[in-house]
Chain A
Amino acid sequence: MHHVIIGAGPAAVSAAEHMKKLDARSEITMLAAENVPPYSRMAIPYFLVGNITPEGTYLRKNADHFENLGINVRHGRASSIDPQSKSVKLADDSTIAYDKLLVATGATATKPPIPGIDLDNVHNCWSLADAHKIIEKATPGSNVILMGAGFIGCIILESLAARKVNLTVIEMENRMVSRMTNSVMGTMIKDWCVDKGIRVLTSTKVDRIDPGQGSALSVSTNTGESIAADLVICATGVRSNTAFLEGSGINIDMGVVVGDYMETSVTDIYAAGDVAQGKDFSTGDYYVQAIQPTAVEHGKIAAQSMVNGHVTASPGNVNMNVLDTVGLISTSFGMWMGVDGGDESELVDKENYQYINLQFKDDVLVGASSLGMTQHVGVMRGLIQTASPLGEWKDKLMANPTRLSEAYLAGAQAQDQKNSA
C-alpha cells in the first residue's frame, strides 16, 4: 500500500508517523515543496526574535528521523493530481502513483489587492525564506509597518519590537486579533501594545503603497495618512493551497471539504491541516481552522482512515488559539463569542491586563477566552470537549470564572467516582 502525502507540515508529519505506527509495512512518501526539512511555521517568530536557529523550527530534530521510520521525503511541488490513474504530477513533470493520497498542502499567506503591494520591501511573514528577508531588513531604527493584527501579525510583534524598529500596526478591524477576541479583550491587547510603544491603528485600511524617498515606501491609509516605511510586512490573511487540485473533481470551498474521516469527495483522497475544511466541534459546520493542534489531529485521523478504513468518525475539532502579544498571553477556545441563549461569565481587569470570559450553553462550557492566564489553561479545552455538565459549578463559575480548574477537577473526580462505582 503506497500512501502519498502532499506536504510536509505538521498535518503531513503527524499523518505519516501515525500511518507507520498503524501499519509498519506501508510505503509512505511525503512530498515537501520547500527545499528544507519539515519545519513549523509556529516557531518562526522565535527564530525572528533570535531565540533559535532555523534548525530550531524543524518539526523533527533528528536529521535521519524520517529515514529511520521508513518515510520517504521527496522534495518537489505537486502541480496536479489525477484520481483516475491515481497519480500526482509534479512541477518537474514527473509523477508519483498512490494507493491513497493525503493532501496536506497547508496554506499560503495572501496579499491584499492594493496598489504597490508587489513593491520591493513588502513581504509576507510565512515561510522561513520570508523570515530571513525580514531579519535582513528590520534593522534597529527602521520604520516598519505591519499590515494586519491577526494571529501572525500579533505573534511577530514581539520579535519586531525586540529588533528595535519603529513599528506601526495597521488593522482593518476595530480591534486586534478579531478572530479570537471580543471588543473588550481585543481592545485590551491594543492598549497593551500601545503601552509598549507600538503605534496601533485599528479600523484603518491601507489604500496604497508608493515608492518613497530612497529605498523607503510611503503607505497611505483610508484615514488620509501617509506613513514612511522601510519595510512593510503583510499579515492580512492566508489561503488554503488548493489551486493544483483544479480539475481533480475534489469538492473545494474555502479549502478542501472533508468529512468526518478526513475523506474528500473523491475516493482514496484525504485532506488534513490548513488546507482542509473540516468539521468544527462546536458548531458542526465545516471550515478551515488553520491551527497547529487541529493539523496534528487531522493528520492522525486521516492516517487511521487511510490505514484502517472509515471506522471512527471525528466529532470535529475544537478551535483554539494561544497567542503571545509582546508578552501578553491570550487564549480562546470553541465558541468564545458565545451562543444564542447561552450564558456569559466575564471578569475584566484592564489595569492589570487580566481577562477571562466563559460561555455556557445550559450548564456546559462551550467557549472561553482569557488574557494574562498561564496556569491550567488546557482545562478550558477539556471542559469544552468533554461537554461535561457542570451542575452546581456552573453557578460558581458564573460568580467567579477563575475557579475553572476547580470546576474541572470536581467534574473529573465525579467521573472518577462514577467509573469506580
Chain B
Amino acid sequence: MQKSLHIDPAKCTGCLQCESACSLENEGIFNPSKSRIKVFNFHDEGRFVPYTCTQCDEAWCMQACPVDAIVINAETGSKDVLEDICVGCKVCTIACPFGTINYNTSSGKVVKCDLCGGDPACADACPTQAITYVDANATGLDKMRAWAAKTDNATS
C-alpha cells in the first residue's frame, strides 16, 4: 500500500518543526528556507497551512523536465529529483501549477519533496499530527489533485 502525506491545517500551530526537520534531513542543517515543506501563516485569519508536493499523478514537473532528471520512486510513488542529472534549467518550477518544486540558488538545482524515501521527517517532527504519513487512499489528497486537475490541459 502506497502512503502519502496527509495534511490537516486545522491541527497546525505554525511551529515550523516540519520545516526544521525537512531541512535537517535534506540539507544537514536547520534551515527552514530550504525546506521542501512550507507552512503558510494566514495571520489575519489565524490559520496555518503546511504545504508541500502532493506527488500528483500528472507530474507536470517530471514531464516538463528536458533531461529526465525527475523520476518516479517505485517504492514510494514520489517524484524524485536526481540531483546529478538536473541541470538547473528551472522549467519544472514554472510547469508545476502547485509551485512545489523550487530552485535552490546555492546548489543550482531544483528541490522538491521526496517523502524522505518513505519515512518523512516532517511527519515525524510534527507535534500535533497536522502532518501524518498514511495510506494514500485516506489522505484527501485527491481533493487537492482535483483542484490541480483544473490546470491540466484536458489530457487526462
Contact = CB atoms under 8 A, between A and B. Distances in A.
Given A296-B63, A374-B103, A379-B99, A410 B42 contact: yes
Nearest to B101: A378
Contact of B9 (A40, A380, A413, A415): A413
Contacts of B91: 42, 292-293, 322
Contacts of A60: 68
Interface stretch (B13-21, B81-89, B122-130): B81-89
Interface stretch (A51-59, A67-75, A208-216): A51-59
Interface string A315-352: 11100111010000101010000000000000000000
A111 to B, nearest CB: 25
A225 B154 CA distance: 52
Contact of A59 (B68, B90, B98, B140): B68
Interface in A299-313: 300-301, 304, 312-313
Given A378-B96, A419-B146, A46 B68 contact: no
B66 A292 contact: yes
Contacts of B72: none
A333 B98 CA distance: 14
Interface string B125-156: 00000000000000010011011101101110
A43 B68 contact: no
A329 B97 CA distance: 18
A326 to B, nearest CB: 13
B97 A378 contact: yes
Interface in A264-295: 292-293
A324 B105 CA distance: 11
27 contacts: A14-B63, A42-B67, A43-B66, A46-B87, A51-B88, A56-B87, A57-B67, A61-B67, A61-B68, A296-B64, A297-B153, A300-B63, A312-B155, A313-B154, A314-B154, A324-B90, A374-B105, A377-B93, A377-B99, A378-B97, A379-B97, A380-B99, A381-B95, A381-B97, A382-B151, A385-B151, A415-B143
A386 interface: yes
Interface in A383-402: 385-386, 388
A42 B150 contact: no
Contacts of B87: 42-43, 46, 51-52, 56-57
A43 B89 CA distance: 7
Contact of B155 (A314, A322, A380): A314
Nearest to B33: A375
A416 interface: yes
B64 A292 contact: yes
Interface string B48-74: 010100000000100110111000000
B102 interface: yes
Contacts of A51: 87-88, 108
B40 A409 contact: yes
Contact of A61 (B42, B49, B85, B98): B85
A200 B94 CA distance: 27
Contacts of A82: none
B124 to A, nearest CB: 24
Contacts of B38: 375-376, 405
Contacts of B23: none
Nearest to A301: B155
Nearest to A417: B143
B100 interface: yes
A248 to B, nearest CB: 27
Interface string A28-64: 0000000000001111001000011000111111000
B60 to A, nearest CB: 8
Contacts of B151: 381-382, 385-386
A406 interface: yes
Interface in A125-154: none
Contact of A40 (B60, B66, B97): B66
Given A297-B63, A378-B100, 13 more contacts: A40-B66, A58-B68, A297-B153, A297-B155, A312-B155, A322-B91, A322-B94, A374-B102, A374-B104, A375-B38, A378-B96, A386-B97, A416-B140
Contacts of B148: 382
A157 to B, nearest CB: 15
Given A51-B87, A406-B40, A382 B66 contact: no
Contacts of B89: 42-43, 46, 322, 324
A14 B62 CA distance: 11
A7 interface: no
A373 to B, nearest CB: 10
Nearest to A57: B67
